[in-house]
Structure 1
Amino acid sequence: MYLKELNLDLPYIVDDENIESIMKKQKCEYNEATKLDYALNWKWKRRSFSLETRCITAMYERLLGKYKTKDCWKVLIDCVENITDERIVNDSGVCSVPIQFSLNDFSGKNELEKKKATLRLLMEGIEKLALRNNLDIDPFREIALQIEELDYVNEWTWKKDVKSPNKEYNARVICHHNVDSMDIFLSILQRDGTQVHLEKVISEQPDEFAYAEHLGELTWVSDFEVALINKTGTEKYSATLNN
């Protein structure tokens, strides 16, 4: 089994006062009030936290590559204000690790500070898991060090370069995975590798399920125009080299 995913999560915490208030206002039972409370007061927090931390967790996954484990394909760091149960739970290969965390503190940080906080939380969870499962922590620390050396910049090239019809240029898709967005650029380079044009063509939510649909095919429309076509072939984003 290979470790494929690492994520931070914000588990739902039941607020009894909110539940009681909802039960009175909506005249409903406890279970229904809990569902309403989650939908109104927690779901968006959880989603926002997942999006803002995905930049670093995705970068960590990419740099780690294939890492063989005995029984864990995903590590889920449960970020909670108060840890009531220290146990690490393995549910069908998903290892959930509780870590103490303040959402208010995290929300008040700037982009770089959020990236650093994400990496700290991720490593704290991984170290707890490594200690319990007797894993070698060194490979994980090496990845954290790489991220620090790269200044927490998650930038990567999608697929291979595509040569222009006249053989004079190469085009590539460059992805910048930020805290608040995934910015996708079209880059045009001369044959010697010198970049002569860089244009941001898409800004999407920083989540694979949101931006992956844009990454369908990179093709040259002419000797000087390159286009990124989405997976369904319904949208085209192009960049043109002034000649």
Structure 2
Amino acid sequence: MEKLEQEMPLDPFEHIIFDYFPVYVEADVEAFLDLTSDQEKKKCTLEIVHAGMKRAAQAFNWDLQILEKVYHTIKQTGYKSIFALLKKSSPNKKYVCSIMCHHEVKRMDVYVEIKKRSGIVVKKEKLFSVKNTDEQDLLSEYGTLTWTLNHKVEFADKDYKKVYRLTFLEKDKPEDLVWKMERYEL
């Protein structure tokens, strides 16, 4: 990727969808597609996005130091993209359930994670993978996270036709944890 930036004027009103600001960055698509490892694709993608973000930061007079800090943090953490899509506390406020998304190059893995209030992870389990890596699409399909009891939580689609129900119970020893994940499809 020799040249990532392209000298084009930024037009904030051209092709705006929602509150997006279009930024044009030149990239060698064939060279990107020829990359064989997902790690190399993540590195290349970061460089392309970073070039575009710098252009937007200059156009909007944003603090470039913050952008550079984020850029270096992404590199230091091994290009991992993990975030909580949904998060809710249990009725007794002892636990937090999070639906975690792990972005990969060609898929997004979706996990359920239970943490104690102290931040200690009780357990985490993969629910499914999707090929579409846009979390907004996932959120538009799956958007319901509900605690039904202090130790029972459900993650479901908007129509409650696909439901993941987790029942868990902590014991004195972490290895004795009771953890039951059920999937229902109506």
The answer to whether TM tops 0.5 is: yes
The structural deviation recorded for 1:119 is 0.9
SS in 2 for 1:142: helix
Which blocks of at least 5 consecutive residues in structure 1 are unaligned?
Answer: 1-78
Hey, what's the Cα distance between the residues in 2 that align with 1:198 and 1:100?
Answer: 38
Q: Partner of 1:120 in structure 2?
A: 47
Residue 164 of structure 1 contacts residue 224 of structure 1 at CA under 8 Å; is this kept in 2?
A: no
Query: Which structure has more RCO (C-alpha within 8 Å, separation ≥ 6)?
Result: 1
Identity %: 24
The structural deviation recorded for 1:236 is 0.8
Matched, 1:163 2:90: yes
* Off by >4 Å, runs of 4+ in structure 1: 128-136
Residue 201 of structure 1 contacts residue 238 of structure 1 at CA under 8 Å; is this kept in 2?
A: no
More strand by share: 2
Aligned AA (1:158): L
Residue 88 of structure 1 contacts residue 98 of structure 1 at CA under 8 Å; is this kept in 2?
A: no
Residue 184 of structure 1 contacts residue 203 of structure 1 at CA under 8 Å; is this kept in 2?
A: yes
Partner deviation per Cα, 1:127-185 (whole Å, 9 max, x = no partner): 455567776533322221121122211111234332156x6544222221222212211
Aligned AA (1:189): K
The structural deviation recorded for 1:97 is 2.1
Aligned AA (1:148): K
Q: 72, 97, 107: which one pairs with 1:145?
A: 72
Q: 1:86 to 1:169 in 2, by over 3 A?
A: closer
Which blocks of at least 5 consecutive residues in structure 2 are unaligned?
Answer: 15-20, 169-177, 180-186
> TM-score normalised to the size of structure 1?
0.54
Q: 3, 8, 13: which one pairs with 1:92?
A: 13
Residue 25 of structure 2 contacts residue 51 of structure 2 at CA under 8 Å; is this kept in 1?
A: no
Hey, what's the Cα distance between the residues in 1 that align with 2:28 and 2:81?
Answer: 24
Hey, what's the Cα distance between the residues in 1 that align with 2:94 and 2:61?
Answer: 54
More helix by share: 1
Hey, what's the Cα distance between the residues in 2 that align with 1:129 and 1:158?
Answer: 26
Q: 1:108 to 1:220 in 2, by over 3 A?
A: same
Q: Partner of 2:182 in structure 1?
A: none
Residue 175 of structure 1 contacts residue 185 of structure 1 at CA under 8 Å; is this kept in 2?
A: yes
SS in 2 for 1:143: helix
The structural deviation recorded for 1:222 is 4.4
